[in-house]
Amino acid sequence: MSGSESTTTGSLLVVSAHAGDFVWRAGGAIALAASRGERATVVCLSYGERGESARAWREGHSLEEIKAIRREEAGNAAAALGAEVRFLDAGDYPLVESQELVDQLVRLYRELSPTVVLTHTLTDPYNGDHPAAARMALQARVLAQAIGYDAPGDPLGAPPVFFFEPHQPEQCDFRPDVLLDITEVFDRKRKAMECLPAQQHMWDYYTDLAKRRGVQLKRNAGPNLGLAHSTMGEAFVRLYPQVTGELS
Amino acid sequence: MSGSESTTTGSLLVVSAHAGDFVWRAGGAIALAASRGERATVVCLSYGERGESARAWREGHSLEEIKAIRREEAGNAAAALGAEVRFLDAGDYPLVESQELVDQLVRLYRELSPTVVLTHTLTDPYNGDHPAAARMALQARVLAQAIGYDAPGDPLGAPPVFFFEPHQPEQCDFRPDVLLDITEVFDRKRKAMECLPAQQHMWDYYTDLAKRRGVQLKRNAGPNLGLAHSTMGEAFVRLYPQVTGELS
Amino acid sequence: MSGSESTTTGSLLVVSAHAGDFVWRAGGAIALAASRGERATVVCLSYGERGESARAWREGHSLEEIKAIRREEAGNAAAALGAEVRFLDAGDYPLVESQELVDQLVRLYRELSPTVVLTHTLTDPYNGDHPAAARMALQARVLAQAIGYDAPGDPLGAPPVFFFEPHQPEQCDFRPDVLLDITEVFDRKRKAMECLPAQQHMWDYYTDLAKRRGVQLKRNAGPNLGLAHSTMGEAFVRLYPQVTGELS
Amino acid sequence: MSGSESTTTGSLLVVSAHAGDFVWRAGGAIALAASRGERATVVCLSYGERGESARAWREGHSLEEIKAIRREEAGNAAAALGAEVRFLDAGDYPLVESQELVDQLVRLYRELSPTVVLTHTLTDPYNGDHPAAARMALQARVLAQAIGYDAPGDPLGAPPVFFFEPHQPEQCDFRPDVLLDITEVFDRKRKAMECLPAQQHMWDYYTDLAKRRGVQLKRNAGPNLGLAHSTMGEAFVRLYPQVTGELS
Amino acid sequence: MSGSESTTTGSLLVVSAHAGDFVWRAGGAIALAASRGERATVVCLSYGERGESARAWREGHSLEEIKAIRREEAGNAAAALGAEVRFLDAGDYPLVESQELVDQLVRLYRELSPTVVLTHTLTDPYNGDHPAAARMALQARVLAQAIGYDAPGDPLGAPPVFFFEPHQPEQCDFRPDVLLDITEVFDRKRKAMECLPAQQHMWDYYTDLAKRRGVQLKRNAGPNLGLAHSTMGEAFVRLYPQVTGELS
Amino acid sequence: MSGSESTTTGSLLVVSAHAGDFVWRAGGAIALAASRGERATVVCLSYGERGESARAWREGHSLEEIKAIRREEAGNAAAALGAEVRFLDAGDYPLVESQELVDQLVRLYRELSPTVVLTHTLTDPYNGDHPAAARMALQARVLAQAIGYDAPGDPLGAPPVFFFEPHQPEQCDFRPDVLLDITEVFDRKRKAMECLPAQQHMWDYYTDLAKRRGVQLKRNAGPNLGLAHSTMGEAFVRLYPQVTGELS
């Protein structure tokens, strides 16, 4: 979606280390934003060509072929969710942090003026690229706020940041403090997952996880909220304090 | 306020160890709820007659006199905030935990059906009554949810719980994750504070704190929110994950 | 099973707050122990008659009827796992801690000489009975070790203690450090779950969880371990350091 | 030992910032692995020539002399433990992290296919080289698992990682969760320590520590394990969850 | 020592669960205070007659005999350190918390006006009596500060509290933030330890620990402090922030 | 002040990311050291020209102008406190870590032989330059201790390190464990603050904070310390254990 016809100022930015991460971990949040008419943009720092394409390597594909495959699949998945996608092609395994890459992110922040930012957790003992992506996403967000930082556009406000759920949440110090109801857009998330055929076993895995987070969502909301039995959820951790005019 | 004429279902319950706690720590949240037409109820487990009335003791008042003074002052402060107050007179220093007291709280939960609950932090090395109050408030909330618990009324839903700010936040593991904008009701909070003449030095202290939390509120909200320079805030910690249909 | 004909010294003790907890959370560990010919004993401190029997209450059953139903179901489930079960009928919601109850547990420790102990986590903001059960299980274990504690039998050794998985693990500070492969006994666990007809929606929920822990188990074990795609797992947290003669 | 004649698949890899670290902190674990006929390899990223050779500097030795001394001593100590040693000579104080060094480690992982990995803790306010070594050891382990990473050999499995004990454990967030019984090989560890004459005061210090960890080992194992009074121990922290078929 | 002839206002209060704890864990701090002419008082809540007298039970002594033995030994040890000792005989294994016992402690605080308080850690998975003692010591300290608490004497100030070192520090969340140089009084501590003949193996164990803490003390103090090679130390954790007029 | 005429060995080193940080966060500690006749040196790694000079940018100043303004203001503030100031002009937003910059700090440590070091916290989600400055300050301190590190001067001792208070303490894991009484030098701190006219709103903000820390200081010191009602305080976190000959 382009968001150009939207009258809302909502703009979601998702910073993802590899091409598929945003689908499993934040597909529901992205589809929800898009369904509200907000702009949703996914930035893939790499294609996950080395670290998350085992099957393609076993099938004998070349590096460039793998990148092309991943790019196409991620584009399809983003479209299914209603989001735009940008690829920075910074390489993975390892995703090397650099000021150049941070600067590219600063420019994106200035261009997109996100009102909400999603990224990886800062701890992940299974995948160093994830925290590297998160650190750069956070550093760029702070730099983009400074009028003195030399990049086009106006200084950024202070959009809230949410970490999306890693594969082994407890090992990544991921203690959810926000449970998002994605029931109404779960079909879109499932369709987006099905754009990634090499990881077919993940489709059911993340469907099960959405059910599990949905059960917890109901348990934390109480019977009064009138949630259906088939509630689907996504879990997030909020980095900065919530600012609000009403406790709820 | 009784809330009987209210058309909203909002009901705020504040569980306070002593008679004055709710004013300093949650006066803004209470006034905000009342200003929205919600029912707001403060439960004072004790009057703070032994532990928080040093001046009255030094002036030679008897225990019963002190309790009467504190009761009146807390009643005035609650009225200034637009809240109802209940006194359980369970004694302080120490506030002794008992199943009888928990049962009284269960009955209050069932009667009031709170949609939001505020209480003390679970850690406070300066005042054991505060965590004792919090533990009872939390236990009663869970018991009130069980249809099998023998008390009048319907089982409680799952109202969110927020811890309000202790006097020395860092020593009480108080890391705010909700900053509440209380600017529009700060006058009422100040008036409520002034109902407690024995602690006059606290008036400015908690006014300063509200300014400080207001500055942090603005910093976390960004310039886009259009907050005025004189924003006043209160800080809270959320116990259970937030349940929401939109990240913001 | 009684274990009387067993030649192994293994003895598993599971301390459970309510009648059903051990099935969902530790059914695999129990079935594994039994399948190795070890003695497995479940102690249910209460029947979960008030807090975990919502459906029976809504159906209009009396307290005594509910206790009888829960007792029979838990007995069936334990039998399906190959375990013995003891009911202490101490009441739930709240499960009130007392020295008398701790003393009963000390006597059980002395009688059974467990080599492994399983119980609830020490933190659970959704259910105060769970930490209460855990605290008593841990206190009794330490008391049973003292020759000076006045109870029949020899002093206990130092059996390792594992916390089993709560319903909302991250909210209970549950960071798994042991992943148990229960693939070979999962059928028994499923049969035991099916002994609890009032909670039919939990059957699939905990089957999904077992798959999810199984995936994590494979990820932490590496491809070399030759685990099948359908590995099922249970997660635990170890309280005391592991004592070993070999790192692995 | 070369392990070439061994029929076991065990392969221990120890990643050490400086030339002496592995002796004090993991000598027992290394000697145990070797005594079981496993391959044991120590990688010293530096000789500790600047930061851990104060006496040699005070005696006026040149940098090259100090490196040669440290190399010989570490080689002798490794031999006493039954381990092979590799020196990467990457410099210390500071040990600068680089992708080149990580790549060397990836190649070692691929060559050695370790089944167990030991390294420093990720926190050490007294010595920045230690966490730097640990970060590189962990990053390389993850990279070596990816089929897409361009280095000779097969992708690595998922060997468990243990952090060995730093000099001031509590300041390094070192909370032991594995206590290893090294009684039977302590003589070898002592001999290896005595290969480092410049730090003679450490011999008794680490002998005392082994006793202390031995006492804790007995206390956590209980009387039933039949441990002798002179049990000697080494403490470790496990990074990833233990995968097991039996709780014990 | 009675302190009556002392001109200093220093008054050290040590709250110990069992009769021997104060010797191993705080003997140096006690002897230092006494050597400065301060009053030092040890309160033993129990004799440790059930939980810490295994040898006496195995030798067939009766409960009363054991209490008498422990009382005499602890008295001798206190005398060797220069401290007074009070026995509250509240029973151990378990040490049951009660308001009566807390009240006795409040009266002691009011009587002794301690300027420094030492007690056990709040976490100890090996011994529930230790945290129970600490909780009562802390609760009593806060109650004694309230003018409204009904006990003889003046309200207490706010003496700093230090936790002394448990047997397995890391398992008790004991991260030392104060290292006390006890070199000059270590002989007295050793003599006090030798007053406890049933635990002879502890004499060397705690001498080794004192050396180990001494090495850490030197490492944290730097070479400039001119500490001797044989520095002996005790480790503590400070509960409340240090109040000072100078950073050092 | 140069300290050349001083007979004390005290030497305070403050490592500050930007030119203004030391005034708000450590002005009291600096003025106290100077008032005792100690040498006090502030190192500003950058001028804060990009990230902390929003007003100057809005007024249209050039980068070089802004740096000049900040340099002069910081110099005035340091003089008001009695401190010397060094500017390393390493750039901000981001402050890029480098071994060259660390080496400059090592040389300063060797030159100044600080007996106390102050710097930023290691966590600050609002400003990445702060933790970057702290990491370099800590790494340089350790390197300066090594005789083998190639820089002029004698190896450094082990000066204690204190983190000063960040703008949003709880979000930066800042749990004060030292409260410094700055009452007698608060006037100087106020004057130093007034040297920074672009941040006039901060003058009162940090005056209020000093009052608030002063109230906490009194609460932790007790009535016995005879503190006046107008006590002003600064809060710090100690990185390494305190080494002392007396608990207090």
| CATH value at residue B206 | 3.40.50.10320
pLDDT band, very low/low/confident/very high, at A201 (cuts 50, 70, 90): confident
Please name the member of D49, D128, D171 whose beta carbon is closest to the beta carbon of F148: D49
CB contact at 8 A, D141 and D117:
yes
Reference E109, options E86, E79, E128, E129; nearest CA is E86
**Contact with chain A for residue D113, Cβ under 8 A:** no
Domain presence at residue A37:
yes
Residues 6+ apart with CB under 8 A from E7: E37
Q: How many domains does chain A have?
A: 1
Within-domain flag for B136: yes
pLDDT digit string, tens, across residues F101-134: 999 999 999 999 999 999 999 999 999 999 999 9
Chain B residue with minimum CA distance to F207: B208
Determine if residue E226 is left, alpha or beta; phi over 0 gives left, psi from -120 to 50 gives alpha, anything else beta.
left
pLDDT value, residue A36: 97
Average pLDDT of the residues in C218-232: 76
Residue with tokens 């004057």: F191
Q: Are E115 and E12 in contact (CB under 8 A)?
A: yes
The answer to whether A50 contacts D240, with C-beta atoms less than 8 Å apart, is no
pLDDT recorded at residue C198: 86
Provide, rounded to the nearest whole percent, the portion of chain D with pLDDT above 70: 94
For chain B, residues with pLDDT lower than 70 are 1-8, 222-228
Strand pairing class (C11-16; C84-87)? unpaired
Query: Alpha helix (H) ranges present in F36-165?
Result: 54-58, 63-81, 99-112, 129-144
Strand partners, F9: none
CB atoms within 10 A of CB D44: 28
| Contact state of B146 with C94 under an 8 Å Cβ cutoff | no
Nearest to E114 by CA among E43, E26, E35, E28: E43
| Gap between the Cα atoms of C45 and F203, Å rounded | 60
Assess whether chains C and F touch, using the rule of 3 or more C-beta pairs within 8 angstroms.
no
CB of D51 within 8 Å of a chain E CB? The answer is: no
B175: enclosing H helix or E strand: none
What is the pairing mode between strands A242-244 and B11-16? unpaired
Identify the sign of the CA torsion F101, F107, F110, F114: negative
Q: How much of chain B, in percent, has pLDDT values that exceed 90?
A: 90
Percent of chain F's residues with pLDDT above 70: 94
Query: Is residue C219 predicted with pLDDT exceeding 80?
Result: yes
In a domain, B205, yes or no: yes
Reported pTM? 0.95
DSSP 3-state of F119: strand
Task: Find out whether A119 and A26 touch, Cβ atoms under 8 Å.
Answer: no
pLDDT of residue D198: 86
Chain centroid to Cα F81, Å, comes to 12
Whether B49 and chain E come into contact, CB under 8 Å, resolves to yes
Q: Do chains A and D touch (3 or more CB pairs under 8 A)?
A: yes
pLDDT number for residue C226: 59
Contact present, E237 and E175 (Cβ < 8 Å): yes
Closest chain F residue to D172 measured between Cα atoms?
F240
Residues on chain A touching F96 (C-beta within 8 angstroms): 99
CB contact under 8 A, F219 and B167: yes
Mean pLDDT of chain A: 94
Percent of chain C with pLDDT over 90: 90
Enumerate the residues of chain E whose CB falls inside 8 A of the CB of residue B55. Answer: none
Closest approach of D123 to chain F, Cα-based (Å): 12
Q: What is the pLDDT of residues D68-121, one digit of tens each?
A: 999 999 999 999 999 999 999 999 999 999 999 999 999 999 999 999 999 999
Q: Which chains touch D (3 or more CB pairs under 8 A)?
A: A, C, E, F
Interface residue C168 vs chain A (CB under 8 A): yes
pLDDT-based confidence at D201, cuts 50/70/90?
confident
Q: Measured between alpha carbons, how far is D83 from D14 in angstroms, rounded to an integer?
A: 10
Nearest to C136 by CA among C123, C124, C119: C119
Contact F139 D94 (CB under 8 A): yes
Q: What is the mean pLDDT of residues A124-153?
A: 97
Alpha carbon distances (Å) from D160 to D9, D43, D119, D130 = 15, 17, 11, 19
- Sequence-separated (6 or more) residues with CB below 8 Å from residue F167: B216, B219, F126
Q: Is A179 in contact with B244 (CB distance < 8 Å)? A: yes
Confidence of residue D4 (pLDDT cuts 50, 70, 90): very low
pLDDT of residue E230: 87
Task: Nearest by CB to F170, from B126, B174, B215: name it.
Answer: B174
Residues on chain C touching A215 (C-beta within 8 angstroms):
205
Mean of the per-residue pLDDT values for chain C?
A: 94
| Nearest-angstrom CA–CA distance, E138 and F111 | 46
B20: which 2 tokens? Answer: 């004055």
E58 touches chain D (CB under 8 A): no
Higher per-residue confidence, E120 vs E222: E120
pLDDT band at A219 (very low <50, low <70, confident <90, very high): very high
Q: What angle do CA E57, E63, E66 make, to 5 degrees?
A: 65
Across chain A, where does the E strand assignment appear? 11-16, 39-44, 84-87, 116-119, 161-164, 178-181, 233-238, 242-244
First to last CA, chain A: 31
The shortest CB-CB distance from C128 to any of B142, B147, B240 is to: B142
Q: Which residue type is seen at A127?
A: N
Using CB atoms within 10 Å of the CB of residue F85, give its burial: 0 to 12 exposed, 13 to 18 middle, 19+ buried.
buried
Q: Does position C20 have pLDDT exceeding 70, yes or no?
A: yes
Minimal-distance CA residue of chain B relative to E150: B50
Q: Tokens for B14, please give them.
A: 């504040």
- The more confident residue out of C212 and F8 is C212
Which pLDDT score is estimated for A156? 96
Q: Do B222 and A29 touch (CB under 8 A)?
A: no
For the segment E132-136, the average pLDDT, to the nearest whole number, is: 98
Each residue's pLDDT tens digit, F217-244: 999 986 555 566 789 999 999 999 999 9
- Is F241 within 8 Å of chain D by CB? yes
Question: Are E and C touching by the rule of 3+ CB pairs within 8 Å?
Answer: yes
Assess whether the previous peptide bond of E169 is cis (omega < 30° from 0).
no
Do the Cβ atoms of F50 and A241 come within 8 Å? no
Answer yes or no: is D247 within a domain. no
D239/A93 CB distance under 8 A:
no
Confidence of residue D223 (pLDDT cuts 50, 70, 90): low
Q: Of C167, C168, C208, which has the smallest distance from its Cβ to A211's Cβ?
A: C208
Domain that holds residue B140: 11-238
Give me the pLDDT at residue B9, please: 79
D116 and C156: CB-CB below 8 Å?
A: no
Q: Range with the lowest mean pLDDT among B2-11, D169-178, E168-177, F120-129?
A: B2-11
The span from the CA of D159 to the CA of D141, in Å, is 9
The answer, yes or no, to whether residue C118 has pLDDT greater than 70, is: yes
Would you list the DSSP string of A157-184?
Answer: ----EEEEPPSSGGGGT----EEEE-GG
To test the contact with chain C by mutation, choose from E50, E127, E167 the residue with the greatest count of C C-beta atoms within 10 A, namely E50
Nearest to F170 among B169, B201, B215 (CB): B169
Name the band, by pLDDT with cuts 50, 70 and 90, for residue D181.
very high
Q: What is the pLDDT of residue F1?
A: 34
The 10 Å Cβ neighbour count of residue B245 is 11
- Domain-located, residue A41: yes
Decide if F212 touches E, using CB distance below 8 A: no
B142 reaches C (C-beta below 8 A): yes
pLDDT above 50 (res D6): no
Could you tell me which chain B residue has the CA closest to the CA of C61?
B148
For residue D5, being part of any structural domain is answered with no
> What is the helix (H) or strand (E) element at residue C55, kind and residue range?
helix C54-58
Amino acid sitting at position A129: D
Tell which of E119, E149, E243 to mutate to test the B interface (max B CBs under 10 Å): E149
A155: pLDDT strictly greater than 60: yes
Split at pLDDT 50, 70, 90, the class of D177 is very high
Q: How does pLDDT run across E80-89, given as a tens digit for each residue? A: 999 999 999 9
pLDDT at F2 over 60: no
Q: Is the pLDDT of residue D211 over 80?
A: yes
Element (H, E) at C200: helix C200-221
Cβ(D157)–Cβ(C248) under 8 Å?
no
Q: Judge whether C247 lies within some domain.
A: no
Q: In chain C, whose CA is at the least distance from the CA of B103?
A: C94
pLDDT at F9 over 90: no
Position C4 scores a pLDDT of 40
Chains that touch E (3 or more CB pairs under 8 A): B, C, D, F
Torsion of CA C244, D1, D5, D10, to 10 degrees: 30
CB within 8 Å: F125 and A240: yes
What are the angstrom distances between the C-alpha of C1 and each of A72, C42, C78, C189? 58, 12, 10, 16
Tokens encoding E88: 């509250």
Neighbours of chain C (3+ CB pairs under 8 A): A, B, D, E
Spell out which residues of chain D touch residue E176, defining contact as CB-CB under 8 Å: 170-171
pLDDT of residue B2: 38
Question: What is the CB neighbour count within 10 angstroms for residue E6?
Answer: 15
Residue A49 lies in a domain: yes
F73: CB partners within 8 A, 6+ apart? F19, F20, F195, F196, F197, F198
Subunits with 3+ C-beta pairs closer than 8 A to F? A, B, D, E
D29 contacts C245? CB cut-off 8 A: no
How far is Cα B154 from Cα B106, in angstroms, rounded to an integer? Answer: 11
Check CB contact of D223 with chain A, cutoff 8 Å.
no
Element (H or E) spanning F164, and its range?
strand F161-164
- Looking at the predicted structure, is the pLDDT value of residue E2 above 60? no
The string of pLDDT tens digits covering residues A5-38 is 434 579 999 999 999 999 999 999 999 999 999 9
**B36 interfaces chain F, CB cutoff of 8 Å:** no
- pLDDT value for A2: 38
Determine whether the interchain pair C243/D36 forms a contact, defined as Cβ–Cβ distance below 8 Å. no
Mean pLDDT confidence for D20-24: 96
Flag whether pLDDT at D7 surpasses 70: no
∠ at Cα C37 (C36, C40), nearest 5°? 100
Distance of residue C139 Cα from the nearest chain E Cα, in angstroms: 6
A63 to chain F, any CB pair closer than 8 A? The answer is: no
| Residue to test with chain E: of D168, D174, D220, D236, most E Cβ within 10 A | D168
pLDDT grade, residue E209 (50/70/90)? very high
Amino acid type, D77: A
Determine the pLDDT at residue E201.
Answer: 87
> How sure is the predictor about C199, in pLDDT bands with cuts at 50, 70 and 90?
confident
Structure tokens at C132: 């209460």
Identify the CA nearest to C164 among candidates C72, C36, C30: C30
CA distance B150 to chain F (A): 41
Which residues in chain E are contacts of B94 at CB distance < 8 A?
99, 102, 139, 143
pLDDT averaged over chain F? 94
Decide if pLDDT at E73 tops 90. yes
